[in-house]
């Protein structure tokens, strides 16, 4: 009986919960577990939801949900007391209630041990052979497709279980194109087997896994029978079945159904999956269809999620994918739902968007994404004995070069070098224009206003502040332009693949590498780029170490100091600083990956075919990042640069020199206040003020110190002017070499800068994480600077 048919007041024991994964998980979390007793509190006809009591709690279930739960009623138990031999043998002196309880438990147990297993696979992968050998029946086994036209059922006993095995027709996919496909799908969704055995032809694995990806979408309980394993071994190919199982989220059992090898292990695994006795055996993964398609899927899924009937019957993700594929059968399923209009509109819009961006229909983009997933999974687990396959496709040919074991790294490094070069060389022009434009506007606005602090605020605080933000926009957009091309062309996936093994050693993934490299340009887009990392842990750790990648904003500081204090070998000093950042990043990754909560499950790195990126997609990605930068960062950066300006401007000391003003402003006072803290590092209060200003943006360190060190009220602007040497001279005469080096180390490591801080907050959705990282970097900076200073003193005594 099913739970929804129980009347008010009736009691029953749960046999099993059917339905797709996330639905079952939710019910099980509520307490609907096999063997538990459930009572109907109120089941009025036509009334939804129904109220139940289970393990002492009252819970409402919708009728549709209750239909997925199989139970044994007291009535059924009473009948069993009469008919079942086992129950007749109960001692006669048992009280009625006890007798009934025993009967309930017994029948529930017995039914729970009756399970349905469906065989699903491509034609000719050996389903019928497996069916025959397991069930002992002798269906005709043929070496051509189409023999199995209907489902065959066989029964057999395995351990304590009565297994009903269903041999379904062979299909290559679960689209709704052929009657076989529809039939299999209907069987999986309506007849609801307890466990699906996906039979896969190991000698033709790539094509066979396509069907597997669709089963993953459906969120069913699947065990893979990797059949024809003998042929794979015979060819000398190697397949890491365990790793493949991890990646796909399902157990993979090698079988040879011609002679029965591996069949007992297969059914042992089926039982484990059914009883969920081993939590590490299976997990539900999402096949990553790429950023754009995933957006579309999410959107449709959100619409579907509003419909509770649909939600309890199907995996909404599966329906969303199928609906996006314009699957006729799923369209029929969804034809009467109230959300249809919204759904149709969402699909039409998404279809247009995908066509514009990817230059193909959503349907074929989904197929491509699934193959990219398969390629990625196999690249990590499958090794052909001989690369006997001729290099047919363009993708194969390109891959032969860019993933070649000797050429891969040099090509990669060269590409990155080119991208950085282009970002900063080309970026210089718009940067200069923006600089000039901001200066011009400042001048014009200044001319219109009366002298006073309001004018200073508008011109030096707000306009200059906005300028300091805008000036990096070209860099960010150019960097993203190239990143987007690398990503859309399919190269990025290979790059991630190449470095994956290396990155694993520090507890990260291949996908962490690109954001880290981008960090040398600017930490902000680098942190935004971590979005492509699925694993939460890897993503958090990557975000945490990016600030150690010395960004371009820090470069002028190092150039200035290296020039002043290490005139004979500035490049070595610079390289040393960059290397120190990298070493600390690696150390931090090693340490942090021990502390961040582990969801470190392997995931597939998709290998999509190479494709020429569309102009539209490239532009859109580039602009999106630019917009994000402006929206999210600009507001905060502006706020902070105004704040820092205010701190330097007040309290006012009219008539005084700028340097005097700075020293006696709030920021000067703050610098003096923290002087004792940084004294062990050899810093003076002017350097401390520079560091404080650097919290706003690292670019401010030099200009602030320039002002601080200015004598006779003379100001130092930055690197461009010839007064640089004066600042350098001033530093040299007042700062010991060891302290200067310690200062470089501190600048490299401490508080990333407000924009990065905000980026961390918005990407991790947590102020805590951002604050924690800021504190962590400050601590590391202090400790390393301290060590540098002390060791430095031995080399360059004062």
Give the residue with the Cβ less far from Mg ion, 145 or 233.
145
**Distances from the Cα of 204 to the Cαs of 226, 237, 701, in angstroms?**
11, 12, 61
Tell me 90's DSSP state: S
**49 prior amide bond cis, ω within 30:** yes
DSSP assigned state of 631: I
- The residue range among 30-38, 123-131, 492-500, 739-747 that interacts with Mg ion, by the rule CB under 5 A, is 123-131
Min dist CB 191 to ligand GDP, Å, is 19
Site residues (CB under 5 A) for Mg ion, limited to 232-271: none
C-alpha to C-alpha distance for 426 and 1, rounded to whole angstroms? 72
Q: Of the two residues 146 and 680, which places its CB atom closer to Mg ion in the complex?
A: 146
Closest to ligand GDP by CB, 149 vs 579, is 149
DSSP, collapsed to helix, strand or coil, labels residue 322 as: helix
Residue span binding Mg ion (CB under 5 A) among the ranges 128-136, 362-370, 469-477, 564-572: 128-136
What is the four-CA torsion angle of 95, 98, 103, 104, rounded to 10 degrees?
140
Other Cβ atoms within 10 Å of 672 Cβ, number:
16
622 binds, among Mg ion, ligand GDP, none (CB under 5 to 8 A by kind): none
Q: Minimum Å distance from CB 146 to ligand GDP?
A: 9
Secondary structure string (H, E, C) spanning 350-386:
HHHHHHHHHCCCHHHHHHHHHHHHHHHHHHHHEECCC
258 binds, among ligand GDP, Mg ion, none (CB under 5 to 8 A by kind): ligand GDP
For residues 116-131, one letter each, b for 16 or more C-beta atoms within 10 angstroms of the residue's C-beta and e for the rest, the string is bbbbbbbbbbbbbbbb
Residue 257: name its binding partner from ligand GDP, Mg ion, none (Cβ under 5 to 8 Å by kind).
Answer: ligand GDP
Q: Which two tokens stand for residue 443?
A: 């001048």
Query: Which of 42/182 has CB closer to Mg ion?
Result: 182
Residues that bind Mg ion (rule: CB under 5 A) add up to a total of 2
Nearer to ligand GDP, 230 or 325 (CB): 230
- Which one of ligand GDP, Mg ion, none interacts with residue 588, CB within 5 to 8 A by kind? none
Q: Would you list the DSSP string of 141-172?
A: --SSTTS--S-EEEEEEETTEEEEEEEPPP-S
Minimum CB distance to ligand GDP, residue 126 (Å): 3
For the chain, the 3-state helix, strand and coil shares in percent, each to the nearest 5, are: 65, 10, 30
**Residue 435 contact among Mg ion, ligand GDP, none, beta carbon within 5 to 8 Å by kind:** none
Query: Pick from Mg ion, ligand GDP, none: which does 124 bind, CB < 5 to 8 A by kind?
Result: ligand GDP
Least separation in angstroms between residue 167's CB and Mg ion is 6
Question: In the bound complex, what is the minimum distance in angstroms from residue 120's beta carbon to ligand GDP?
Answer: 10
| Min dist. Cβ of residue 128 to Mg ion (A) | 3
To ligand GDP, the closest distance from the beta carbon of 401 in angstroms equals: 36
Choice from 18, 68, 122, 128 touching Mg ion (CB under 5 A) = 128
Residue nearest to Mg ion (CB): 128
Q: With CB under 5 A as the contact rule, which of the stretches 126-134, 207-215, 574-582, 590-598 interacts with Mg ion?
A: 126-134
Kindly state the smallest distance separating residue 244's Cβ from Mg ion, in Å: 24
Please state the closest distance from residue 63 (CB atom) to ligand GDP, in A: 39
The answer to whether 750 touches 701, Cβ cutoff 8 Å, is no
| Contact call for residue 135 and Mg ion (CB under 5 A) | no
207 vs 284 by CB, closer to ligand GDP? 207
The smaller minimum CB distance to ligand GDP, of residues 257 and 622, is found at 257
Neighbours of 25 (CB within 10 A): 14
Instruction: Choose the contact partner of 484 out of Mg ion, ligand GDP, none; CB within 5 to 8 A by kind.
Output: none
Name the region of 657 (left: φ>0; alpha: ψ -120 to 50; beta: rest).
beta
Hey, how many other C-beta atoms are within 10 angstroms of the C-beta on 318? 23
Report how far residue 354's alpha carbon sits from residue 292's, in angstroms, rounded to the nearest whole number: 7
Name which of residues 462 to 501 contact Mg ion (CB under 5 A). Answer: none
CA pseudo-torsion sign 683, 685, 689, 695: positive
What is the DSSP-derived secondary structure letter of residue 740? Answer: H
Q: For residues 671 and 763, what is the distance between their CA atoms, to the nearest angstrom? A: 31
Minimum CB separation from Mg ion for residue 209, in Å?
A: 19
Given the rule CB under 6 A, which residues bind ligand GDP? Answer: 121, 123-129, 141-143, 148, 170, 227-228, 230-231, 256-258
Q: Residue of minimal CB distance from ligand GDP? A: 126
The residues that bridge with 16 in the sheet, in sequence order, are: 70
Which of 124/269 has CB closer to ligand GDP? 124
Site string for Mg ion, 146-165 (x = CB under 5 A): --x-----------------
Closer residue to Mg ion (CB): 73 or 148: 148
Q: Would you say 260 or 306 has its CB closer to ligand GDP?
A: 260
Q: What angle do CA 37, 39, 43 make, to 5 degrees?
A: 145
Q: Whose Cβ is closer to ligand GDP: residue 233's or residue 762's?
A: 233
DSSP state letters, 666-709 = HHHHHHHHHHHHHGGGT--HHHHHHHHHHHH-THHHHHHHHHHH
| Residue 124 vs 175, nearer CB to Mg ion | 124
Residue 780 interacts with, from Mg ion, ligand GDP, none (CB under 5-8 Å by kind): none
Query: Can you give the binding site for Mg ion, defined by CB under 5 A?
Result: 128, 148
């Amino acid at each position: 009986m099913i739970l929804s048919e129980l009347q008010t007041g009736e009691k029953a024991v749960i046999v099993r919960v059917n339905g797709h994964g996330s639905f079952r998980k939710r019910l099980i979390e509520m307490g609907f577990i096999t063997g538990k007793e459930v009572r109907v509190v109120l089941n009025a006809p036509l009334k939804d939801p129904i109220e139940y009591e289970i393990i002492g709690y009252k819970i409402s279930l919708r009728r549709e949900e209750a239909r997925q739960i199989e139970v044994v009623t007291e009535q059924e138990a009473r009948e069993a007391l009469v008919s079942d031999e086992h129950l007749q043998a109960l001692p006669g002196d048992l009280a009625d209630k006890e007798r009934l309880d025993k009967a309930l438990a017994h029948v529930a147990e017995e039914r729970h041990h009756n399970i349905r297993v469906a065989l699903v696979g491509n034609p000719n992968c050996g389903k019928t052979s497996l069916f025959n050998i397991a069930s002992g029946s002798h269906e005709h086994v043929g070496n051509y497709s189409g023999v199995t036209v209907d489902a065959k059922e066989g029964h057999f006993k395995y351990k304590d279980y009565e297994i009903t095995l269903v041999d379904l027709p062979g299909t290559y996919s679960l689209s709704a194109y052929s009657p076989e496909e529809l039939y299999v799908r209907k069987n999986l969704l309506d007849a609801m087997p307890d466990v699906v055995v996906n039979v896969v032809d190991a000698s033709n694995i790539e094509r066979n896994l396509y069907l597997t990806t669709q089963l993953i979408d459906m969120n069913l309980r699947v065990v893979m029978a990797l059949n024809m394993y003998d042929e794979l071994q015979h060819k000398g190919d190697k397949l890491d079945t365990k790793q493949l199982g991890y990646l796909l989220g399902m157990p993979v059992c090698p079988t040879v159904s011609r002679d029965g090898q591996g069949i007992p292990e297969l059914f042992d695994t089926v039982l484990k999956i059914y009883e969920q006795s081993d939590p590490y055996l299976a997990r539900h993964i999402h096949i990553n269809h790429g950023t754009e398609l995933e957006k579309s899927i999410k959107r449709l899924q959100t619409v579907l999620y509003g419909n509770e009937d649909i939600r309890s019957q199907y995996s909404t993700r599966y329906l969303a994918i199928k609906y996006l594929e314009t699957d006729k059968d799923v369209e029929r399923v969804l034809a009467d739902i109230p959300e249809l209009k919204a759904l149709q509109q969402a699909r039409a819009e998404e279809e247009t968007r995908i066509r514009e961006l990817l230059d193909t229909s959503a349907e074929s983009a989904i197929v491509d994404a699934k193959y990219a997933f398969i390629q990625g999974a196999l690249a990590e687990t499958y090794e052909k004995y001989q690369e006997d396959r001729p290099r047919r496709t363009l993708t194969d040919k390109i891959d032969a070069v860019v993933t070649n074991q000797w050429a891969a790294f040099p090509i990669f490094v060269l590409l990155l070098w080119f991208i950085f070069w282009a970002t900063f060389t080309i970026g210089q022009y718009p940067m200069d224009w923006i600089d000039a434009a901001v200066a011009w506007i400042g001048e014009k606005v200044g001319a219109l206003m009366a002298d006073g602090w309001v004018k200073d605020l508008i011109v030096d605080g707000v306009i200059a502040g906005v300028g300091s933000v805008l000036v990096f926009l070209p860099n960010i957009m150019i960097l993203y332009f190239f990143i987007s091309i690398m990503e859309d062309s399919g190269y990025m996936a290979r790059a991630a693949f190449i470095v994956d093994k290396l990155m694993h050693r520090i507890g990260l993934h291949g996908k962490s590498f690109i954001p880290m490299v981008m960090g040398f340009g600017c930490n902000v887009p680098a942190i935004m780029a971590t979005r492509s990392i699925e694993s939460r842990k890897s993503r958090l750790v990557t975000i945490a170490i990016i600030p150690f990648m010395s960004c371009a904003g820090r470069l002028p500081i190092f150039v200035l100091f290296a020039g002043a204090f290490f005139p004979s070998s500035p490049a070595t000093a610079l390289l040393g600083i960059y290397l120190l950042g990298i070493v600390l990043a690696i150390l931090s990754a090693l340490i942090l990956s021990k502390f961040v909560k582990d969801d470190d499950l392997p995931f597939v790195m998709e290998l999509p075919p190479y494709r020429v990126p569309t102009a539209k997609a490239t532009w859109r990605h580039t602009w999106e990042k630019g917009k994000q930068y402006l929206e999210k960062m600009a507001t905060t950066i502006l706020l902070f640069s105004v704040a820092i300006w205010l701190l330097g401007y007040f309290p006012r000391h009219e008539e005084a020199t700028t340097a005097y003003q700075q020293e006696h402003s709030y920021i000067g006072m703050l610098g003096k206040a923290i002087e004792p803290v940084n004294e062990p590092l050899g810093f003076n209060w002017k350097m401390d003020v520079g560091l404080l200003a650097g919290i706003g943006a690292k670019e401010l360190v030099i200009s602030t110190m320039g002002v601080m060190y200015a004598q006779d009220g003379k100001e130092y602007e930055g690197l461009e002017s010839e007064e640089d040497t004066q600042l350098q001279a001033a530093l040299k005469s007042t700062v010991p070499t060891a302290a200067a080096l310690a200062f470089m180390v501190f600048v490299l490591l401490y508080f990333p800068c407000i924009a990065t801080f905000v980026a961390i907050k918005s990407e991790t959705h947590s102020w805590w994480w951002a604050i924690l990282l800021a504190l962590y970097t400050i601590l590391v900076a202090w400790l390393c600077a301290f060590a540098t200073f002390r060791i430095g003193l031995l080399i360059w005594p004062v």
